[in-house]
Amino acid sequence: MLPLVESVFYWSDLFGTAVFAFSGVLVAGRLRMDGFGVIVLAAVTAIGGGTIRDLIIGAEQVFWVANTVYLWVILGTALLGLYLVHLPRRLPWYMLPLADAFGLAIFTVIGADKALSHGTSGMVAVVMGVITGVAGGMIRDVLAREVPMVLQREIYATACILGGMLYTGSLALGLPVLLATGLGMLGTFVLRVAAIRWHLSLPAFSLTR
């Protein structure tokens, strides 16, 4: 991969890690957890999906074991989050969803790219992109005793599937990596933001008429 793309991936990944960790902080705060609980929910949300991905594809080392900067980002975000949630002035409501959508987009592409680099097929790479993007949030919701958002009607995993398909498909067609990355991230981000803006959702399955 080109050095420029690697650099963009890395710093965007750290940003996504911080955003996902902050969402874990918010859930922990809503449930009135102690400091340890806050850090645990922040950590599983931020690195849970990538950890599962690395274990499945047989990576030599799980990414946060090889680079402990991710752990410091999570710890810093958790501590900062404990302070920010008590401020009288809050961020505009749309800031966190937009940041989360961006984090989802970069996690999806990074997950798919890492799977491809370990010799998986395009289909498996798409699945790994989805796992990287949503599994951490699923673990967080389970620990919070809630039905994971991704298993409800939210267009979340669907956005990951679209982004993963755009990324792997673009590479299969011979497009430059930078362009494939942009298309994959843009597809995920736009679909997720559109779902938030216009309250789009998937049809619910029900056994009742």
Angstrom distances, CA of residue 149 to CA of 84, 90, 135, 144: 24, 24, 11, 12
What pLDDT sits at residue 9?
Answer: 84
Mean pLDDT of 63-83: 95
Q: Does residue 91 register a pLDDT over 70?
A: no
Provide the terminal-to-terminal Cα distance of the chain, rounded to the nearest Å.
52
Mean pLDDT of 164-168: 98
Q: Does residue 86 register a pLDDT over 80?
A: no
The pTM (predicted TM-score) of the whole model is 0.94
Lowest mean pLDDT among 5-14, 25-34, 81-90, 134-143: 81-90
**Which of 85, 75, 66 has its CA nearest to residue 46?**
75
Mean pLDDT of 168-178: 95
What pLDDT sits at residue 182?
Answer: 94
Taking only the tens place, the pLDDT of each residue in 31-63 is 989 989 999 999 999 999 999 999 999 999 999
> In the structure encoding, which two tokens stand for residue 208, read together?
């009742």
What pLDDT sits at residue 26?
Answer: 87
